[in-house]
Structure 1
Amino acid sequence: MKKIKKIISFWCLIFYAAGLFAQPGTDTFALKKDIGYDVEQKIDSLKAIGVDTVIQYFSFVVGWPLYIDSAGVYEIQFLIWTQHSKTYIQKFVNLNGSKNKRPSPIQINKQDIALFLQKNLNTIKYEFIYPYTYKTVVNNFEIYQILGGTHRKYSFFRIYTKDNAIQKEVFDSDFDEISFEEIKNLNYTYNSKTKIKLLLDLITTSVGKIDWH
């Protein structure tokens, strides 16, 4: 089975950040400024002070706004890094395409992600996720098909290290066992046990609820 390459729009591949740390309890706003610039500048500043591993994470629904509330549509990305045995999470938000928000980094007590990457980074680098594939039988013939559909949600992460950047993008439905059409994912057992899936679980648990506030 061949690995299906996903197409990522160019603007989703430009990642930026600004500054090293915002002052505690403050937010940084920038009108009509690309959120990607903020993210990459922050990554560069972390590297400059000796942080050797940084994770960038975000998720989107293809062709549809994933995050929206009474304030409007927003894009959000996260950076996660460990420094002096402490793990930090910082989010970068663009609200309605006109305002960027960068809250101060939040320290979390757990170092699960850093420890997990120490043991599994090389595996993650070469690992891949098989597409949601299901079987139907027509006139006694077995037919194998890949689950499609519009507005599919995908997750993206890039791990920056001293040597390179490891990038993965996966459709979240590839980790589902049964689809809404009650067809079984033949790749569920493999996909659900990958280090990529375990890392995504650690990231989403650490990030918690996603909102622009």
Structure 2
Amino acid sequence: LNLKEVKDPYQADIILVDTCTVREKPENKALSFLGQFRKLKKEKNLILGIFGCVPQRIGKKIYEQMPYIDIVIGTFNYYLLPYYLEKVKKGKRVFEIWNNYKEEENKVSFYPSPPKGPISYITIQIGCNRFCSYCIVPFVRGRERSKPISLILKEIDKTLEKYPFIKEIQLLGQNIDFYKCPETKMSFENALEEISNYVLKGILQFENLWEVFAL
């Protein structure tokens, strides 16, 4: 997409807000943050978008109450964001809230995001099948699904190539101990062994929402 990051959002041509809805406060903050750019959008050719758990839960409400937002997508199709940006550049508005994931998700290798110091994060599992009465995760992130081990290793390669100073890779997932490779049926335990053997330097960690373990 040939984009360049800017520190000041008021200097940006594209503002995209990734959201969380586990608690009410971050949901309200995300919508409030987007709202402050309504005036700016009238003054310049600014693309505004919101994706993640909040649109997945109340997407239609956002679309109706904030008609100036160009992109509203949920949690199952965020990997299509570059495609949606191209549509908006051609003058179209995007509202895409899927109710389930598609198999093509397992074919997408994500470009590594800038690490925090010597630590990089790679998501290997999404969703949950537990449906606890106090938790919204299964409703906004869907059922459990795992990233193929081949894609995980590919993303590790990309990360270490772009950021050779990385000393620690953390593996993320909502319910990570239920990881199961969709290609090889490899368990989480075997995946950890495969990944740790593949990564020749540093410390490998994995993390879920409640606990952090280290090999």
TM over 0.5: no
The structure whose residues are more often strand, as a share, is 1
Taking structure 1 as the reference length, the TM-score comes to: 0.23
Taking structure 2 as the reference length, the TM-score comes to: 0.23
